[in-house]
């Protein structure tokens, strides 16, 4: 094996590096020398200039409060800290004892602190490189839509062709808001047309829908649209708005089945307590609301 050859250029680089090292002031290299006069660094240490870097990391220009409201029942009140226009961290606000209702009932300071790692790191999702920056459609779903939404029940092989059975490995297509809204509208029309009337009943039975579910279907394909809301009081527009949206799909039923306006049926809200069932079904029947009580405050003030 031949030994590596050093070129003239490599030799000149080596000489230049040596000259730069020789020209380095001794006081610069001296900064790397250990301190001999420090017996106890907790009492005395000569070089403390680095501390401002550590302390400055918590400096902020302004702050604001916000409610962390994901698919969660706590709705923790947080305080965000902004530096150079960027939210750098979030902490809980330690003021839940100030929260009250119109009757003057207030929470207690026992609810402090609130918050979890999801809320404390929320800014990482806001600024993360993998956040959604615009609407996207799954490639296979778009191809299915472009083909005219052929029935997956009538031809089960289409589930594989358009990757309904392999969605996790499919890719996504960037869309404009105008285009994706058109796809959503056409998709809702296709659902209503596919699952309405006798043909719709046949397809639903073939897909394994229970007879009890078909009782609430009432021949309208709009009733098969799965519009799911969240815990209501925690976000009035975001949660209750879906009920209103479901009611408005009666316009689709009126168009698809041709029924009179007073007989048109809209979609239903698939709540956690009923169709989806990932919350206690008895909660609304016992309390009248869906987990909308202020945590355990009612129990605290009930004097039981």
The pLDDT tens digits for 89-132 are 999 898 888 888 888 888 788 878 888 888 888 888 889 888 88
Please report, for residues 225, 261, 277, 293, the alpha-carbon distance to residue 194 in angstroms, rounded to integers and kept in the order given. Answer: 11, 20, 26, 41
CA torsion sign for 94, 79, 88, 238 is positive
CA 175 to chain centre: 20
Please report, for residues 63, 65, 88, the alpha-carbon distance to residue 80 in angstroms, rounded to integers and kept in the order given. Answer: 5, 6, 8
Contact yes or no for 275/267 (Cβ under 8 A): no
Question: Count of residues for the chain?
Answer: 304
For the stretch 139-156, pLDDT in tens is 999 999 999 999 999 999
Is 90 exceeded by the pLDDT of residue 16? no
Q: Residue 287 — very low, low, confident or very high, per pLDDT cuts 50/70/90?
A: low
pLDDT, residue 223, reads 92
Is 90 exceeded by the pLDDT of residue 81? yes
pLDDT, residue 154, reads 95
pLDDT, residue 166, reads 93
More confident residue, 138 or 35: 138
Q: Which of 70-74, 125-129, 143-147, 212-216 bottoms out in mean pLDDT, i.e. has the lowest?
A: 70-74
Q: Report DSSP state, residue 237.
A: I
Task: Encode 116-149: b = buried (16+ Cβ within 10 Å), e = exposed.
Answer: eeebbebbeeeeeeeeeeebebbebbbebbeeeb
pLDDT, residue 280, reads 63
More confident residue, 39 or 193: 193
Percentage of the chain beyond pLDDT 90 is: 39
Is 90 exceeded by the pLDDT of residue 79? yes
pLDDT, residue 111, reads 78
Average pLDDT of the chain to the nearest whole number: 82
């Amino acid at each position: 094996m031949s030994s590596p050859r050093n070129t003239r250029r490599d030799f000149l680089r080596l000489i230049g590096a040596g000259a730069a090292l020789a020209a380095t002031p001794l006081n610069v290299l001296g900064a790397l020398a250990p301190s001999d006069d420090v017996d106890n660094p907790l009492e005395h240490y000569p070089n403390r200039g680095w501390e401002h870097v550590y302390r400055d990391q918590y400096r902020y220009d302004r702050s604001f409060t916000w409610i962390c409201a994901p698919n969660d029942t706590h709705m923790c009140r947080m305080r965000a800290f902004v530096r150079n226009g960027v939210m750098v961290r979030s902490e809980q606000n330690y003021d839940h004892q100030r929260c009250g209702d119109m009757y003057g009932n207030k929470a207690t300071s026992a609810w402090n602190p609130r918050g979890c790692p999801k809320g404390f790191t929320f800014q990482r999702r806001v600024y993360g490189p993998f956040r959604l920056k615009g609407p996207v459609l799954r490639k296979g779903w778009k191809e299915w839509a472009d083909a005219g939404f052929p029935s997956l029940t009538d031809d089960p092989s289409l589930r594989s062709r358009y990757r309904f059975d392999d969605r996790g490995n499919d890719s996504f297509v960037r869309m404009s808001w105008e285009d994706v809204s058109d796809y959503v509208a056409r998709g809702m029309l296709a659902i209503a047309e596919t699952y309405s009337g006798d043909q719709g009943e046949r397809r639903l039975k073939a897909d394994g829908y229970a007879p009890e579910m078909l009782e609430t279907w009432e021949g309208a394909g709009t009733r098969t649209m799965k519009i799911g809301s969240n815990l209501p009081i925690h976000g009035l527009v975001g949660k209750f708005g879906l009920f209103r949206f479901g009611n408005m799909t009666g316009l689709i039923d009126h168009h698809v089945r041709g029924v009179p306006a007073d007989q048109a049926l809209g979609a239903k809200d698939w709540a956690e307590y009923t169709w989806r069932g990932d919350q206690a079904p008895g909660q609304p029947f016992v309390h009248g609301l869906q987990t909308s009580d202020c945590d355990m405050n009612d129990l605290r003030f009930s004097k039981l």
